Amino acid sequence: MNERARIDTEKRAPKRGGGESPARSAADFVPARLSIKSLRTAAAGCTGCDLYKRATQTVFGEGPSNATIVLVGEQPGDQEDRSGHPFVGPAGRVLERALTEAGIPRHAVYITNAVKHFKWVARGKRRLHQRPREGEIDACTPWLAAELRLIEPRFLVCLGVTAARAAFGHSVRLKDHRGKLTATPLSPNTFVTIHPSAVVRLREPERTREYALFVADLNGLRDLAAR
């Protein structure tokens, strides 16, 4: 897995072409010696794409370096960008509740995002989330690949289509892979489900129904991890 992830990351990183401006990618900032501390420190200075210009700070992953499960979301939200910690806003509260109901302790999993900087657009005094473009996802994928090389989890869990895009290396439809294990360039055991922010955005009764399906997905993941 480690070598496969490394090769795939290098293959998908933007290339430097003759006569063109130098391509940028997080690959230029990943340290040679990997540890959670060294990755977090290096990522704080990443300028591998333009998203750093408007973000408050890099929001890196958190959790044990020997975690069996790595959960990957899309990108930090407004509260995450301000605090510097992943999944501390409304979606994080939904995720924590769902993990608890599924019997998966949050402190036992490593939680990160496919994109480490907050992409947003102003609406008055509010900063509203914008979905990252494919080039921005690809530019940031070397951080995720490095996290996975270091942790070597049994399962990579993609929360939503952006995380799945990073893992598969191309766009996928969530419904084609949801609740299943699929081999991807970043992990032989990639599990796809919705992002908890999708639950937050819904109105009742759809919210309750989708939340129950999300918990069911996590129950299935728990059962797979127990085998």
What are the sequence ranges of the domains in the chain? Answer: 2-13+23-226
Confidence of residue 9 (pLDDT cuts 50, 70, 90): very low
> Which residue in the block uniquely carries the two structure tokens 């510097």?
84
pLDDT in tens, 76-94: 999 999 999 999 999 999 9
| Structure confidence at residue 23 (pLDDT) | 61
**Between 3.40.50.1970, 3.40.470.10, 3.40.50.720, 3.40.50.1000, what CATH number should domain 2-13+23-226 receive?**
3.40.470.10
pLDDT above 70 (res 39): yes
* Whole-angstrom distance, CA of residue 9 vs CA of residue 169: 9
Look at residues 106, 138, 113, 103 and name the one whose alpha carbon lies nearest to residue 197. Answer: 113
| Residue 173: count of CB within 10 angstroms of its CB | 10
In this prediction the pTM is 0.89
